[in-house]
Amino acid sequence: MSAAVTAPIRPLDLSGTPSVPMSRLIGVELRKMADTRAGKWLLIAIGLITAAAVVIFFFAAPDDDRVFLNFMGITATPQGFLLPVLGILLVCSEWTQRTALVTFTLTPIRSRVIVAKIAAALVFGAAAIVLAVLVAALATLLAGAPDPWQNIGWDSIGKFTILQASGVLQGLAFGLLFLNTAAAIVTFFVVPIAFNVVASIWTAMRDIQPWVDLGFSQQPLFLGGDMSGEQWAQLAVGTLIWVVLPVVVGFWRVLRAEVK
Amino acid sequence: MIKVEGLTKTFGDFVAVDDVSFESRPGRVTGFLGPNGAGKTTTMRILVGLTRTTQGEATIGGHHYGDIPNPGRHVGVLLDASAQHGGRTGREVLTLGARTMGLPPERVDEMLELVSLTPTEAKRRVRNYSLGMRQRLGIAHALLGDPSVLVLDEPANGLDPAGIHWMRGLLRDYANRGGTVLLSSHLLHEVEVIADELIVIGNGRIVAQGTKAELLQTAGTFVRSVDNDALARALHDSGMTAVPSGEGGFRSDADPAEVGKVAAEAGVALVELRPADGAGLEEMFLQLTADTQREGDTR
């Protein structure tokens, strides 16, 4: 047995113990996502499906359409489905597997854990966009369409970033709200469909839809082109309702939840 | 080191913990004994800041757990060995803990060795662990940060007799090195083997506390015979008490010699005659268990 397990135990003295830096908590959260089978395969799936979408478009689209912005655009939909699931898993696996008991014992200030999870979710979202840019750029080079880099700039990359960041955060928020993987995933995917159904039947709904239907107000983000001030305002309101509000309420819930 | 004062916790109308006070000191293994649902887990959860108190407070070294920076370095906690992600390997579970606490990766190997989990076992997913292996992993996790206090909820649950013996050695050594240990159990025998001091809790209230020697020292005699009815009558006729105790025997306040004499005079053959030892504690504990057993095992 080494000295580390036979030495005398000192009395409790907190003076020499710094608190755990946030960077370390974020690192642990990133690792937790990748060290289980479900998490690892979700990450692999995001990578593979992003690449597959680009490859399929490469062969399916006419030569003139094989430009960078189109390649980027084609990755938006599959990533938009999978990144929220990642956000949900990041939170809910702690509850379904009951590891929250250990996590909150090692970090009793629960808000720090949630902030670390939000940061980790954004890191994964950013990584997905970097991957999309790389794959799209590679496909663009291989395609050799005339003027393939048209209309791109920080503006379009920025819009993709907003789109995927809000998706992964919305997933995380639904996770915090429900603390149950199945409930969070089902709600996340059913709510937009229910919205469309209601809007198609109830005409009054159609007028406010751009303001309350996030899926609707996010469309300009990946369709390209300039967004009007009203469109930005609609995006902001939708994001407030479907991302910010659930994060706030979920945050509050987790701070008070009895961890079993 | 651990100080619990006037702790009360209610969930609606239900009083889970009722004015509980005790201390757990360095160099001692304190056993927290009570039937399932007696309030042990709730008390420990309050101690480590997972549950809020209704009244009273619990401190470790004078600090509330939530105020301790990087608490894993000071207080080792095992609340539920099964609360681990089944898909992670044993080694990964410890690695996550070590990373959170800022410990070198070698510490993980040391702890695996300490709890006798082989490298092959450490590579297996926790889902495939027996409860005993999970307990060992949980102990390793609690000891990772080289803490000065250990809080362990039912750590011996699922361990075989050899495992319980091993844990006694480990905790004994830890306490001898100056550590403070608070552990809970719903089995009198387990706690008797491992702890120096006992706190007995039932229905949220402390019913007895003291050193093991104090609590186990019961005056009188334990006696068992082939004809208990006749023996009870004879003892009663001689003016001696006879309370049913243990398995088919009696406890009497009289000396073993006197009880033996009465039995001989009455012509009742004895099967067992000895000083009562822990019989009093056992009776009290059985009483507590009988009261709560109908409610079933809820935790």
Share of residues in chain B with pLDDT > 90 (%): 63
Looking at residue B298, what is its pLDDT?
44
Single-letter residue type at A43? L
Q: At residue B88, does pLDDT exceed 80?
A: yes
Domains of chain B: 2-212 (3.40.50.300), 221-277 (no CATH)
Query: Average pLDDT for residues A136-140, to the nearest whole number?
Result: 93
Q: Find residue B183's DSSP bridge partners.
A: B31, B152
For A152-175, write each residue's pLDDT tens digit: 777 888 888 999 999 999 999 999
For A171-200, write each residue's pLDDT tens digit: 999 999 999 999 999 999 998 888 888 878
How many angstroms separate the CA atoms of A158 and A155, rounded? 5
Looking at residue A216, what is its pLDDT?
84
Q: At residue A1, does pLDDT exceed 70?
A: no
Contact A106 B72 (CB under 8 A): yes
- Which of B25, B53, B70 should be substituted to probe chain A, the one whose Cβ sees the most A Cβ atoms within 10 Å? B70
| Closest in B48, B66, B72 to A109, CB measured | B66
Query: Which of 26-45 (A) contact B at CB < 8 A?
Result: 27-28, 31-32, 35-38
Closest residue by Cα to residue B212 from B43, B36, B28: B28
Mean pLDDT is lowest, of A191-200, B152-161, B169-178, for A191-200
Q: Does an H or E element contain A60, and which? A: helix A37-60
How many angstroms separate the CA atoms of B55 and A37, rounded? 43
Tokens (6 digits) for A98: 């009951």
Share of residues in chain A with pLDDT > 90 (%): 63
DSSP state for residue B154 in the 8-state scheme: S
Domain boundaries, chain A: 22-255
Confidence grade of residue A9 (pLDDT, cut at 50, 70, 90) = confident
Q: At residue B217, does pLDDT exceed 80?
A: no
Residue A191 exposed, middle or buried by CB count within 10 Å (0-12, 13-18, 19+)? middle
How many angstroms separate the CA atoms of B292 and A150, rounded? 76
| Closest in B68, B83, B110 to A4, CB measured | B110
Burial B141-150 (b: 16+ CB within 10 A, else e): bbbbbbbbbb
pTM of the model: 0.87
**Residues B276 and B251 sit within 8 Å (Cβ to Cβ):** yes
Query: Average pLDDT for residues B272-281, to the nearest whole number?
Result: 77
The answer to ipTM > 0.85 is yes
Neighboring chain A residues of B139 at a CB cutoff of 8 Å: none
Q: What is the mean pLDDT of chain B?
A: 90
Q: At residue B293, does pLDDT exceed 60?
A: no
Query: Up-side HSE of residue A203: CA atoms within 13 Å toward CB?
Result: 0
How many angstroms separate the CA atoms of B180 and B94, rounded? 22
Confidence grade of residue B291 (pLDDT, cut at 50, 70, 90) = low
Query: Average pLDDT for residues A241-260, to the nearest whole number?
Result: 93
Mean pLDDT is lowest, of A14-18, A143-147, B14-18, for A143-147
Q: Count the Cβ atoms, other than its own, within 10 Å of residue B195.
A: 25
Confidence grade of residue B292 (pLDDT, cut at 50, 70, 90) = low
Q: Find residue B4's DSSP bridge partners.
A: B22, B58
Mention every residue, 6+ apart, whose C-beta is less than 8 A from residue B140: B94, B111, B112, B114, B115, B117
